[in-house]
Amino acid sequence: MPSTTSVLSTYTAFTASAMLVRTVITEVQTVTSQIIPKQLQTMMLSKLGGLCGNSSQMTLTIDEYNGYSINQLYEASEIYLRTKITASLDRLKISKTPKEKNLSVTISKDEKIIDIFEGFSLVWEMISQETKEQSQCGRFEKRVIELSFHKKFMEKVLSCYLPYVMERSNAIKEQSKVVKLYALGHFGGDSDGGGWGSTNLDHPATFDTIAMDPRLKQALIDDLDRFVKGRDFYRRVGKAWKRGYLLYGPPGTGKSSLIAAMANYLKFNIYDLELASIYSDSELRNLLVSTSNRSILVIEDIDCSIQLQDRQDGEYDNHNRRLTLSGLLNSIDGLWSSCGDEKIIVFTTNHKDRLDSALLRPGRMDMHIHMSYCSPSGLRILVSNYLGISDHKLFPEIDKLITEAEVTPAEIAEELLKFEDADVGLEELIKFLRRKNTKMIECETEVGAEKRKAREEVDGDENIVDFISKSKKMRSKRKKKSDMLRSKVVCEENALKLN
């Protein structure tokens, strides 16, 4: 048996050696972390672990995009991780819009979050890097979420944990229900990493505040309700789960406000697409496919945004543009339109008659909604919104004037906005409507006078033409008569010569 002194001496030497080795390893790791990038370190360690046969970790990579479509699992993971933020993290991404009550806190890139599920741990990490690809909006940023765990829990992660993350994310989204407004480029709001930038839609318009025909409004609400409940129906009949609406009418009749009301009613995000910013059919297709489910794609003033090449026209050069009507039609109603569910497409125009008939057929624009001039029912809604009253003794007179005048809801709203007192506001509105009617009568009188003058000029021209025609006929008759007399005289002279 070794003596106690020799055992202690051996133990002391071993401990000192272990501490020395640990110190060396720590120093090497410190130097290595400063010289070798983190991603390269991870790759080297994984390779070494594989060579030693000791790799027990599994890492799932969740890309932000699946092709051109947004990866729903990425979006759900990002929302879920907000609930797992603790003070142990070193870096967070924080933001706040002017109308939000609370700060929005999300995990920053290269940060890790540890989650415990049914007794085992998982590690989430946000990774972000710029790609070499460029667009009009600058470089794309590729964002990836990595989920790491022990290999033996692979089946449980796929069958239980990730479905739980999706379910939890959907519940959080339903609670917040913040509607986003997307546009091309990055303008100080959130970015989806692609061509779209976003901000919160703070438009207060609802169906209760929209001044339009009540029957038409209810028909639209019923149509939207049928659409959002129609997943099984659309799949059964073999149609893409989308719906198209055409809003047409004079400027100021509330087309943009109606779109906001639709978004607030359905809790759908809005993608505002300016065709003038798009240079090719392929770019348009990529942008439309990258829109999220449960969204409204809006193309305003479709008749005058750009000059689209007709499908029957030949080749043309429109400032090197290669965006065509055929490309637009295929994107909204072709094979690519089936990439995504529960999408609504809205076109607006002031002149429906200027649109190509191919845009208007069912399947592209399924419901045509005429936004007309203000009616008595629309007036009641506006007065309730601006003056806070639902009945007044001046309503009958205003109803009579408003049916005679072509006045938009925007014009009525502008007049009501000037006054806080209901009596004064309605009296001034009557004066405005009378001026409007007088101006309309004067315009009609001027137009009538111009038409009469034009008619008289045409009639005068026709009289001149008739006179010239009659003169020609008279000259022709006189010439014929003269020729006949001349031939008669010649005949008589010849007869006398013969005698």
What are 312-358's pLDDT values in tens digits?
A: 554 444 555 578 888 888 888 878 777 778 899 999 999 998 888 88
pLDDT of res. 251: 92
| 102-112: pLDDT as tens digits | 777 778 877 88
Distance, in Å, from the CA atom of 259 to the CA atom of 40, rounded to the nearest integer, reads 49
Q: Using an 8 Å Cβ cutoff, are 417 and 424 in contact?
A: no
Distance, in Å, from the CA atom of 397 to the CA atom of 404, rounded to the nearest integer, reads 11
Tell me the pLDDT band of 225, cut-offs 50, 70 and 90: very high
Separation of CA 245 from chain center: 13
Is 90 exceeded by the pLDDT of residue 14? no
Tell me the pLDDT band of 437, cut-offs 50, 70 and 90: confident
Q: What is the mean pLDDT of residues 160-170?
A: 91
Is 60 exceeded by the pLDDT of residue 241? yes
For residue 384, give the nearest of 306, 354, 376, 493 by alpha carbon. 376
Copy the structure tokens of residue 250.
């004079």
Output phi, psi for 138, to 5 deg.
Answer: 105, -160
Q: Phi-psi category of 376—alpha, beta or left, where left has phi over 0 and alpha has psi -120 to 50?
A: alpha
Give the bridge partners for 197, in sequence order: 183, 191
Beta carbons within 8 Å of 438's beta carbon, 6+ residues apart: none
Q: pLDDT averaged over the chain? A: 79
pLDDT of res. 24: 53
Highest mean pLDDT: which of 37-46, 249-258, 338-347?
249-258
% pLDDT > 70, the chain: 69
Is 50 exceeded by the pLDDT of residue 170? yes
Q: Using an 8 Å Cβ cutoff, are 280 and 436 in contact?
A: no
> Nearest-5° angle of CA 371, CA 428, CA 413?
30
pLDDT of res. 331: 84
Cα-based distances in Å from 151 to 51, 77, 115, 120: 17, 20, 16, 11
Copy the structure tokens of residue 203.
């438009």
Output phi, psi for 334, to 5 deg.
Answer: -100, -155
Is 70 exceeded by the pLDDT of residue 2? no
Cα-based distances in Å from 56 to 125, 128, 148: 18, 25, 10
| 75-124: pLDDT as tens digits | 888 889 888 888 777 788 887 766 566 777 778 877 888 899 998 999 99
pLDDT of res. 53: 46
pLDDT of res. 123: 92
Distance, in Å, from the CA atom of 62 to the CA atom of 64, rounded to the nearest integer, reads 7
Of 271 and 490, the structure prediction assigns the larger pLDDT to 271
Q: Using an 8 Å Cβ cutoff, are 290 and 75 in contact?
A: no
Q: Using an 8 Å Cβ cutoff, are 153 and 120 in contact?
A: yes
pLDDT of res. 8: 47
Cα-based distances in Å from 255 to 61, 260, 383: 43, 9, 19
Is 70 exceeded by the pLDDT of residue 211? yes
**Biggest distance spanned by C-alpha atoms of the chain:** 186
| 288-321: pLDDT as tens digits | 888 888 899 999 998 876 666 554 554 444 555 5
Distance, in Å, from the CA atom of 130 to the CA atom of 134, rounded to the nearest integer, reads 10
Q: Using an 8 Å Cβ cutoff, are 113 and 81 in contact?
A: yes
**What are the start-end ranges of the H helices in 276-405?**
281-289, 325-333, 357-360, 376-387, 395-404
pLDDT of res. 52: 46
Q: Using an 8 Å Cβ cutoff, are 144 and 61 in contact?
A: yes
| 371-424: pLDDT as tens digits | 999 999 999 999 999 999 999 999 999 999 998 888 999 999 999 999 999 999
Cα-based distances in Å from 197 to 106, 291, 344: 17, 11, 19
Q: Phi-psi category of 431—alpha, beta or left, where left has phi over 0 and alpha has psi -120 to 50?
A: alpha
Separation of CA 233 from chain center: 25
The model's pTM is 0.63
Dihedral Cα 394, 399, 400, 406, nearest 10 deg = 130
